[in-house]
Amino acid sequence: MEHINEDMSAYMAEVVKEEQAKDHDGETATCMDVVNKSDKEMFGICAVGIDGKVEMGACAAEKFPLESVSKALGLAMALEDVGPEFLFQRVACEPRGDAFNSVAAIEFGEEGLPSNPMINAGAIVCTAHINGRNGNERFQRLLDFIRRLADNDKIDYNHEMMEAESKDTNRAIFYYLRGQELLEGSEEDKLVPYFKQTSIEMDCVDLARIAAVFANGGRDLKTNEVLMSEETVRIVLTLMFTTGMYEGSGQYAVEVGIPSKSGISGAIMAVVPGRMGLSTIGPALDEHGTSIAGLNMLKKIAKRWHLGTFDVNHFSRTR
């Protein structure tokens, strides 16, 4: 399927109904309690084609914090600002399967670097290298970038959630990184923008539209304006595919096969290059911190519409 159509909309409604009939016995993150969105059965799904067509189902208009989904966006902004050569001297690209908040991922990573930009240590490095005279300007530039990708200038971060979340582990990671000279500057200027970044709120439609911009090679869906370079898109999607689902990245690649990034809010952003962006929300998490319902829905949709990167149907088209 090259374009989103009514058949896909009907199938999304079907997979949502199937998930609603299940008991998702997973934990929800504390951040969802803060924003009053901890209902395990709050399912949402959206698909946005590169032609801008939108199909959505269930609670797709419910807002949620991006949490770690934002790491893909912080990485994209950092790549645009400082370039891959500079950035990857400070964070590696290895799919080691580290936990999202691992400190060992720095000490035992390649050449003493955070193993990849999709864990907290690597994401903190990326956000710290977004251009800006101070922390406020650095975050505002990232927020403006995300608003342009989503085509929604009302997107903002949740102040209450940012203040309420536990920060000690990430502070420890920041000071270790600074001690290793992988970043410099104050917590206020270099770490606080990361805290704000993970607290950015949007709904499934916003997130799927951002994914569709990646699917469109970094170009605006309406104007075809370049919002990020093709090289940035290539790097971000590669790292999403290999590391975007933490310890479950390999199994996810086998079962779904789409470049994706998860967050402990229960959000997943998935990119089908040249075709569409997808997003899901489902707060109940598996042992890897991935949405149980979101994974199930994306697995079924990828199989039904042959969306996986290495689906054999892609090869048959070239014969």
**Where in the chain are the domains?**
6-316
pLDDT at position 66 = 96
CA 134 from centre of chain: 25
What pLDDT shows up at residue 59? 85
- Cα end-to-end span (Å), the chain: 17
Which pLDDT does position 105 carry in this prediction? Answer: 64
Return the axis-axis angle of helices 70-82 and 135-150, rounded to nearest 10°.
Answer: 110
Name the pTM for this structure. Answer: 0.94
Q: Architecture of domain 6-316 in CATH?
A: 3-Layer(aba) Sandwich (3.40)
Q: What is the pLDDT of residue 295?
A: 95
**Predicted local distance difference test score (pLDDT) of residue 22:** 84
Give CA separation, 135 vs 51, 53, 68, 185, 265, in Å.
36, 36, 19, 10, 24
**b/e string for 231-240 if b means 16 or more Cβ within 10 A?**
ebbbbbbebb
Q: Which stretches of the chain drop beneath a pLDDT of 50?
A: 318-319
pLDDT of residue 316: 58
| Closest by Cα among 314, 225, 319, 223 to 274 | 314
> How far apart are alpha carbons 46 and 203 in whole angstroms?
9
Q: What is the pLDDT of residue 178?
A: 94
Phi, psi of 169 (to 5 degrees): -65, -45
Task: Give the pLDDT score at 96.
Answer: 79
